[in-house]
């Protein structure tokens, strides 16, 4: 988690341990929740792995692999904007794909 500065994705109270509004009735999760999620995924996500994150919100967890998904176009745009500020290589080299759609349907374009 230290490799990604949370302030680039959540400019106010970035490291306060509570969810924060990012617009469009969405929040960025509290830092401890991101830490828990990454801890649970660490043994499963490797270079070249694929993952589907539904409700990617601010784009903060994008240093982890693969396809991030949200159903609100403005949140996808926010994620892309935040990622482009400091980690544009993830989008440019195809390691990260941003999709607008209903996550309950999965992502058939890249499904197993």
Integer Cα distance of 53 and 70 in angstroms:
8
- Residues tagged active-site: 29
Structure token digits, residue 21: 């509004």
| End-to-end C-alpha distance for the chain, whole angstroms | 28
Integer Cα distance of 4 and 106 in angstroms:
27
């Amino acid at each position: 988690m230290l490799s990604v500065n949370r302030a680039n994705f959540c400019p106010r109270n970035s490291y306060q341990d509570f969810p924060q509004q990012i617009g469009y009735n969405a929040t960025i999760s509290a830092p401890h929740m991101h830490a828990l999620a990454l801890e649970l995924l660490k043994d499963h996500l490797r270079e070249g792995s694929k993952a589907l994150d539904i409700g990617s919100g601010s784009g903060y967890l994008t240093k982890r692999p693969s396809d991030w998904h949200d159903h609100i176009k403005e949140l996808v745009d926010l994620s892309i904007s935040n990622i482009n500020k400091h980690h544009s290589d993830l989008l440019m080299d195809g390691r990260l794909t941003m999709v607008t759609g209903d996550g309950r349907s999965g992502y058939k374009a890249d499904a197993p």
